[in-house]
Amino acid sequence: MQVMKKVLFLLGLSFLFIGCMGPDRSNDLVVIDAGHGGHDSGAYSGGKKEKDIVLQITKRLYKELKSKGYKVVFTRNSDRFLKLGERTRIADHKDAKVFISIHANAIANKSRYNVVEGVETYFLQKTRDERSQRIAARENASVLKGTDKLSQDVIIDAVLNGPKIIHSHKLAIDVQKGMMKNLRNKYPDVKNGGAKPGPFYILVGASRPSILIEVGYLTNPKERARLITSDYQKRIAKGIAEGVDKYLDNRKQQQGF
């Protein structure tokens, strides 16, 4: 009887230890993409370049995901430019569970620099929303040089139907919620731009759930000042990682993913 009690006690401790460690993420690989790079600086305002800020955030996200047990692969971890196909091909070749591309936003209208702000997460989908179209056009410019409009439409139409879009939408919602939760714990006035559809071609090539995150507007002085701080960057990274957790846990429960 005493032996049985000891066995049950040890089993209980084992289950408690495993529970404290959290879910096993060792088979879950995430590909993270820092937008732009090299000759392509992306948005530029107040002396700050999009390519530098998003690389810093992506490196913080790498640490967050690794601490949770994920396998993580960068598309770039230095200041270099990659073509569209190179970025998404990495996600497919590595058999990633999700693909996350990180960017920072900007507007051209100087009179609205202090007004337009917010954190947004996009999934691939055509939209009639003019603001989403403008943002996508700016981000697409560097990866679609030399591609005519008809070819672009053919590319995006080819992937708009199927489970990838549905799962990408769910991933976008979970990641957006994670970021807002972590940011608003300290910065309650952060604007929630929501999870939205957008025709971003960086999301076309990867055949798995894919999202593009706009972490804020470099043209907004308040948001730019926050985006260059380690605290704000860490909160964004933590929120993204928590969103990935939620998405994958839900999918595994629902579909045995």
Q: How confident is the model at residue 212, as a pLDDT?
A: 94
Instruction: Read off the pTM.
Output: 0.83
Instruction: Calculate the dihedral angle through the C-alpha atoms of 157, 119, 182, 50, rounding to the nearest 10 degrees.
Output: 100
What are the tens digits of pLDDT across the range 7-35?
A: 444 445 444 444 445 789 999 999 999 99
Answer whether residue 120 shows pLDDT above 50.
Answer: yes
Q: Alpha-carbon distance 179 to 97, whole Å?
A: 20
Q: Where are the strands (E) in the chain, listed by range?
A: 29-34, 44-45, 48-49, 71-74, 98-105, 119-124, 192-198, 210-217
Domains of the chain, residue spans: 26-255
Record the tokens describing residue 36, joined without a space.
């732009």
Record the tokens describing residue 47, joined without a space.
């002396």
Q: Alpha-carbon distance 173 to 164, whole Å?
A: 14
CATH of 26-255, one of 3.40.630.40, 3.20.20.300, 2.60.200.20, 3.20.20.70: 3.40.630.40
